Amino acid sequence: MAVVGVLALQGSFNEHIAALRRLGVKGVEIRKPEQLLTVNSLIIPGGESTTMAKLAEAFNLFPALREFVQMGKPVWGTCAGLIFLANEATGQKTGGQELVGGLDCTVHRNFFGSQIQSFETELLVPELVSKEGGPETFRGVFIRAPGILNVGPDVQVLADYPVPSDQVLSSDSSVEGKKENAEEANKVIVAVRQGNILATAFHPELTADTRWHSYFLKMGSLVEKEASSSIVPEQVTQVSTSFKQPLQHDLPIFQ
């Protein structure tokens, strides 16, 4: 059985492990640098990014995480995990936070606003569909989500999201400047791949659709071709069907 490490400092690591289990893959919790030596791929989950960074620093994980990425091993960051992997992050709290880096992009930490502005929407995912099949769209769960403002030439954009011209992102002046850039393009990037690195601003682990997990596994040749079956009919979490509306059920406080 393939084994995937899931950084388990805080956030939705249990949900990722459950999604992997549905694909017949074992997910193991990673909290110490030496545990990274036991896995060949890693998921950095969503959570409160500043808290995760402080815990990673306390456990002296940053050097080992950077080495893991630099070795070319598959790494997937969701939401806060995306922030961890970005080479540059804006909109951070006072004092900023340490980053793992490796992904040639600039990410805005709370591009989509506060917790109450969390929402769900259908995203067009042609690359995912070409590899994994299934519906043409993927249900993106955005919880206090980041957005990718720009990417380098080697980064493949896998999904983006249209930004309404009247969307209010933040009262922070530096954020407003980024908002203007996003509006010019009328969209913000929410999923990318660069070589061994996959990153999504949303939370696939909070849905019943495991296509992103299957896609990630195949980046490291961790599953057989026939394991591409990805859609699980039974919902894992109940989510609101209202477009661009705050979710009605209790959600983990992320970012």
Catalytic machinery residues: 79, 203, 205
Helix (H) or strand (E) holding 157: strand 156-162
Angle between helices 211-219 and 13-22 (to 10 degrees): 80
Residue with tokens 């079956």: 229
Asked whether residue 230 is marked as a ligand-binding residue, the answer is no
State which amino acid sits at residue 239. V
Asked whether residue 49 is marked as a ligand-binding residue, the answer is yes
- Is the separation of the CB atoms in 10 and 47 below 8 Å? yes
Asked whether residue 143 is marked as a ligand-binding residue, the answer is yes
Asked whether residue 66 is marked as a ligand-binding residue, the answer is no
- CA pair distance 44, 86, nearest whole angstrom: 12
- Is the separation of the CB atoms in 213 and 19 below 8 Å? yes
Q: Which residues share a beta bridge with 121?
A: 140
Q: Is 231 helix (H, G, I), strand (E, B) or coil?
A: strand
Residue with tokens 């660069």: 194
The Cα-based distances of 163 to 125, 182, 185, 211 in angstroms read 17, 7, 9, 25
Q: What are the phi and psi torsion angles at 57 (to 5°)?
A: -65, -40
- CA pair distance 139, 122, nearest whole angstrom: 5
- CA pair distance 107, 43, nearest whole angstrom: 18
- CA pair distance 98, 101, nearest whole angstrom: 9
Residues of each annotated binding site: 47-49, 109, 143-144
Q: Which residues are annotated as a binding site for L-glutamine?
A: 47-49, 109, 143-144
